[in-house]
Amino acid sequence: MPRLKWGMIGGGEGSQIGPAHRLGSGLDGLFEFTAGALDHRPDAGREYGRRIGLPPDRAYGDWHEMLEGESKRADKVDLVTVATPNATHFEITKGFLQAGFNVLCEKPMTMTVEEGEEIVRLAQETGNICAVNYGYSGYSLVRHMRAMVARGDLGKIRLVKAEFAHGHHADAADADNPRVRWRYDPKQAGVSAQFADCGIHALHMASFVTGQEVESLSADCVSCISSRELEDDAMVNFRMSDGAVGRLWTSSIAIGRQHGLTLQVFGEKGGLRWTQEQPNQLYFMPLNERLQVIERGEANLSPEADRATRVTIGHAEGMPLAFANIYTDLAEAIRARKERRSVDPAANLYPKAEDGLRSMAAVFAVAKSGKEEGVWVDARPPMFR
Ligand code: NAI
């Protein structure tokens, strides 16, 4: 089967997330890196694109040029990844969706709830795929947690505890460094800093694994480094659509914590714990039994976990392979669309524009609650109420 054609906006030389997308999209031989507008500096983007193997006529200077160039081609890209800074996601995603392309947008999908609703409507109207890169939902054992919850291994879910707390912005002496400062400046970052950057990953994971949506929340937002206008730490309590209680902690001043994404789910019949820094083990405690360590790749896991595992048990798998699972799902969804057939349900797990929109509604709810002493607020986007 010919490989699908893949393009990327942003993710240029030295960027944080570009390499993980290139690894993830290329890993299974499903996508070929065909086009890109990789840098905010046109010449640097063209030069870097050519250097890493793009055909010269498809190493574009900016996204408008790429949209125009690719739209004219019979062999246009099948998927465009948007890996630019947050404030540009909306216009680029909108532009490519309108022109008939499938898009994988980095999180947060937009800067406002209204923009998020526009993207959801556009994806629905055009029928084009719009995915959002909550890439941690691609880990094999995260998908296994989801499958265990769905088949009732834990009974009814009572409580979910999500964390995404790191310590990489904890140095007050570095707070004025321009690379750090913009993140806490409302003019550049929007209404939220740490929750919008990291908290939404943890919140998405809570919904992905439990199969429940966040309905309302109460937030305590703090700037531990007092010169910051936006929060560098937040504790969020939330309630979910099938009655689960949620607790979420996100922080950027937690010195000693590295990536810090962890999910715990507690039901009537058992509890689960998974942490992103040791993603190949899942801890399962069935009620009144002994603790079990579930290893990625072991026999008799769920089909969802098996589909998302690549190397045999005992060999570590990490973040680029989780991203690769999102790309594998997208390849199946794009092929199904081309072949006018339904998508393999096991592949239909990639996060969608609706998830990106729900995150934006949560971001605004956290900002409002944080300003109003933790008042409980509706966290659903208006179009889903
Ligand atoms: P970065 O600042 O390291 O890199 C951004 C890249 O985009 C640079 O190469 C820059 O030249 C390029 N760029 C900027 N504006 C552009 C434009 N208009 N057209 C073309 N290229 C442009 O940023 P980073 O950390 O890689 O983040 C990018 C996005 O990825 C952000 O939205 C961030 O939230 C998200 N992200 C997602 C993660 C995940 O786990 N899903 C992890 C890290 C970042």
Report the atom number in ligand 1 closest to the C-alpha of 84: 7
64 Cβ closer than 6 Å to some ligand 1 atom? no
- 133 pocket-lining for ligand 1 (C-beta < 6 Å): yes
9, 16, 92, best to mutate for ligand 1 pocket (most atoms within 8 Å of CB) = 16
Same domain, 128 and 163: no
Q: Is the shortest distance between the CB of 86 and ligand 1 below 6 Å?
A: yes
Read off the pLDDT of residues 120-177 as tens digits, 9 standing for 90 and up.
Answer: 999 999 999 999 999 999 999 999 999 999 999 999 999 999 999 999 999 999 999 9
119 Rama class: left (phi>0) / alpha (psi -120 to 50) / beta: alpha
Assess if residue 325 is contained within a domain.
Answer: no
Query: Is the separation of the CB atoms in 253 and 170 below 8 Å?
Result: yes
> Could you tell me if 95 and 150 lie in one domain?
no
Do 173 and 293 lie in a common domain? yes
**Considering only CA atoms, which residue is closest to atom 17 of ligand 1?**
40
Q: Say whether both 42 and 165 belong to one domain.
A: no
pLDDT at 346: 87
- From the alpha carbon of 134, which atom of ligand 1 is closest? 41
Q: Provide the number of structural domains found in the chain.
A: 2
Q: Is the CB of 223 under 6 A from ligand 1?
A: no
CB of 84 closer than 6 A to ligand 1?
A: yes
Task: Assess if residue 385 is contained within a domain.
Answer: no
Q: Does the C-beta of 107 come closer than 6 Å to ligand 1?
A: yes
Assigned domain for 340 exists: no
How remote is the CA of residue 325 from the centroid of ligand 1, in Å?
Answer: 20
> Is 128 found in the same domain as 181?
no
| Residue 335 forms part of a structural domain | no
Q: Candidates 23, 25, 40: which one to mutate for ligand 1, based on the most atoms within 8 Å of Cβ? A: 40
Q: Whose CA is nearest to atom 15 of ligand 1?
A: 40
Dist. CA 14 → ligand 1 center (Å)? 10
The complex's ipTM? 0.99
Contact 22 CB / ligand 1 (< 6 Å): no
In this prediction the pTM is 0.98
Q: Which residues contact 335 (CB under 8 A, 6 or more apart)?
A: 1, 4
Relative to beta strand 157-165, strand 261-267 is antiparallel
Q: Which of 22, 48, 84 to mutate to test the pocket of ligand 1 (most atoms within 8 A of CB)?
A: 84
Looking at the domain assignment, is residue 346 inside a domain? no
65 CA distance to ligand 1 middle (Å): 19
Domain finish residue from 136, 157, 189: 136
pLDDT reported for residue 73: 98
Residue 342 within a domain: no
Longest dimension (CA), the chain: 64
Residues 57 and 22 in one domain: yes
Quick one: 154 and 78 in the same domain? no
Residue 88: inside a domain, yes or no? Answer: yes
Asked if residue 312 has its Cβ within 6 Å of ligand 1, the reply is: no
> What does the radius of gyration of the chain's CA atoms come to, in whole angstroms?
20
Nearest CA to ligand 1 atom 2: 15
Same domain, 49 and 149: no
Contact between 229 and 184 under an 8 Å Cβ cutoff? The reply is yes
Give pLDDT < 70 ranges for the chain: none
pLDDT of residue 179: 86
Contact call for residues 7 and 70 (beta carbons, < 8 A): yes
pLDDT, residue 278, reads 97
Indicate if ligand 1 lies below 6 Å from the C-beta of 135.
Answer: yes
Instruction: Indicate the angle between helix axes 319-338 and 140-150, nearest 10 degrees.
Output: 70
pLDDT of residue 178: 87
Say whether both 126 and 188 belong to one domain.
Answer: no
Domain shared by 294 and 278, yes or no: yes
Residue range(s) defining the domain that contains residue 85? 4-136
For residue 69, give the CATH number of its domain: 3.40.50.720
Q: Are residues 162 and 51 in the same domain?
A: no
Q: Which of 111, 136, 161 is the last residue of a domain?
A: 136
| Domain assignment of residue 195, yes or no | yes
Q: Which of 104, 136, 168 is the last residue of a domain?
A: 136
Q: Give the domain CATH number at 185.
A: 3.30.360.10
Report whether residue 12 contacts ligand 1, using a CB cutoff of 6 Å: yes
**Do 11 and 121 belong to one domain?**
yes
